Amino acid sequence: MGTGWELTKALREQIYRYASYPQTSVSLRQMVQFGPNPSPGSIFLASQFIVEELPIRLALKVKDLDNAPLGLNKMPSTVKVKNWYAQSFEELTNLPKPEISAHLAELLNTNGALDRQLKLKDSETSTFIQDDKTVVQETLNPANSESANPAINNVFSDDGIVVRPSSHQNHNISSSSSLSSSSLSPKVGINSKLRSESPTFGKTYYTSCPTNIIWPKEVYDYNKSVYDALTKIKKRHDATVATMAQGVQEWKHDNQTIHVNSSIQTFLDRFYMSRIGIRMLMGQHIALNMAQASPAKAKINKFLNGSNGNNNNNNSNKKNGQANYVGVICTDCNVGEIATDAIETAKYICEEYYGLFDAPEIQLIAPGNDINFMYVPGHLIHMLFETLKNSLRATIEFHTPKLKAKMCEEDPDLKFDEIDINDLKFPPIKVIISEGSEDIAVKISDEGGGIARSETPLIWTYLYTTVSETPVLEPEYNQTSFKAPMAGFGYGLPISRLYAQYFGGDLKLISMEGYGTDVYLHLNRLSSSSEPLP
């Protein structure tokens, strides 16, 4: 991961120049317009956009880490993360640009794609073609123009976006609402010269291109070169969350403090929120590349799925292949199925950690009818897994001494320390799923003793944990080999809440000390139109 690499003065100057450019918001609507079998031409134009937009976002990360508050920027792990972003910036900006022949330009412009890219400069309203029948006018509201779960080794477990179709209009694909307007308000007074100099000025991520033509080899070659670069970069950054946790731990040790203060907390919230956006773009583009239509694949899809290449209304297709996926977005995500997966994963980690034959029972209570909506399964399973893991640990550690003491009372011949944990009967944890007009809500309810009222605000701070010893990452750590700890990093709830809030939802907690805790995960069903950028 960058052995022998260094951040030179010339590269730093280039990074800071890019950091002065405004980010270009990617409409979530654009993300699903590629469809399950994207046109290689659309991917080609999107690849050019990605190679120009991501360096801006990576440069902002380098600058932010350079200016991390209270000496956090000097911690070895923070410097390591900063260098990862700088190296990724260098690789993307050095990627050879594609040569567009007259023939390719003509193909790309069959639907007026190149003309539209030139006409979009500084326009407040863009027209996006959603399908052959529907044209959607998307007004970019200035108020919305905002400047890892290691237990699940899924290549896209840490990426993606959330969008949802309106329940009344099947073709009106909507995006998630963002955080509060105060935290994600637009940057006012951006220098117009800097704006026009930005590599992505006037460009959009999705551009409609034909799907029924034979694209020349240079299109596939460039798409593959961008795919390979993004795959390498994404792998480099897999350990970012945990490595930054190490950096904060180093800062706490150097400053001999127990809790993270408000300025570090604010920095980390902004840092991780912006990381979600970067991972979203990379993960979505990698997935779209993997799904891009080739002439042979198009014929096979037409034969298997009918003339439209995809039949989401056919229930038999839902379980087969990726018919209900557009990149990392599942267009028909079943909340109950995802909850079941999260339950099984959390129970497995719990059983290994405590040496249990069977983890405490987790009861899933859901409506008789399936609840399906557009979401990123990797994000949902991450949030549910983290909260379930907390409930399992609280239940076991709160009730173990009580249950052992009760058994000793009933049988004086028993010795407290010799009672096997597998002989104890723990109260169940309940996972309740509810569907409303605005939200899909999941409540995780346990009887794990609750949290003292004075400590409740601390659970949302980074590196706050009730575990006495925080796990230490080995130097060779990577996400694919890392085994998720039962607890200890103190990142589960804060990061999960960011995921929920980024997609317009929220994660809340209500506790009764001495009894248990209820966690409420709200998944937003309403929408705004643009990607939230910090």
Indicate the domain borders of the chain.
Answer: 9-147+186-300, 328-528
The predicted structure's pLDDT at residue 534: 57
Helix (H, G, I), strand (E, B) or coil at 334: strand
The C-alpha atoms of residue 69 and residue 59 are separated, in whole angstroms, by: 18
| Closest CA relative to residue 530, chosen from 125, 20, 202 | 125
The C-alpha atoms of residue 251 and residue 362 are separated, in whole angstroms, by: 38
| Closest CA relative to residue 503, chosen from 440, 436, 445 | 440
Q: Which of 82, 382, 399, 443 is catalytic?
A: 382
Q: Which of 52, 53, 90, 386 is catalytic?
A: 386
Q: At what angle do helices 377-410 and 492-502 cross, to 10 degrees?
A: 140
Find the helix or strand (DSSP H, E) in which 521 lies: strand 516-524
The predicted structure's pLDDT at residue 185: 36
Residue 489 · residue 242 · CB < 8 Å: yes
The predicted structure's pLDDT at residue 384: 96
| Sheet of 325-326, strand order | 325-326, 329-334, 372-375
Q: Is 389 designated active site?
A: yes
Q: Is 386 designated active site?
A: yes
- Per-10-residue mean pLDDT of the chain, 534 residues long, equals 79 96 81 89 95 96 96 96 97 94 86 55 37 32 33 44 36 35 40 73 87 89 96 95 91 89 92 91 93 62 47 43 78 92 95 95 91 88 94 96 94 91 96 93 97 90 65 47 49 90 88 97 67 58
The predicted structure's pLDDT at residue 108: 87
Residue 88 · residue 236 · CB < 8 Å: yes
Q: In sequence order, what are the residues at sequence separation of 6 or more whose Cβ sits closer than 8 angstroms to the Cβ of residue 305?
A: 311, 317, 323
Side-chain half-sphere exposure of 248, counting CA atoms within 13 A: 26
Helix (H, G, I), strand (E, B) or coil at 455: coil
The predicted structure's pLDDT at residue 369: 80
Place of tokens 């006495």: 468
Domain 9-147+186-300, second-level architecture: Up-down Bundle (1.20)
The C-alpha atoms of residue 108 and residue 103 are separated, in whole angstroms, by: 9
Residue 461 · residue 269 · CB < 8 Å: no
Length of the chain, in residues: 534
Q: H helices within 34-110, ranges in order?
A: 40-66, 76-93, 102-108
Residue 291 · residue 327 · CB < 8 Å: yes
Residue 200 · residue 49 · CB < 8 Å: yes
Strand partners for 129: 135
Q: Which of 389, 399, 404, 522 is catalytic?
A: 389
Find the helix or strand (DSSP H, E) in which 318 lies: helix 315-318
Q: Is 253 designated active site?
A: no
**Plot region of 131 (φ>0 → left; ψ -120 to 50 → alpha; else → beta):** beta
Q: Which of 390, 443, 447, 531 is catalytic?
A: 390
The C-alpha atoms of residue 287 and residue 36 are separated, in whole angstroms, by: 10
Domain 328-528, second-level architecture: 2-Layer Sandwich (3.30)
Helix (H, G, I), strand (E, B) or coil at 91: helix
The predicted structure's pLDDT at residue 117: 55
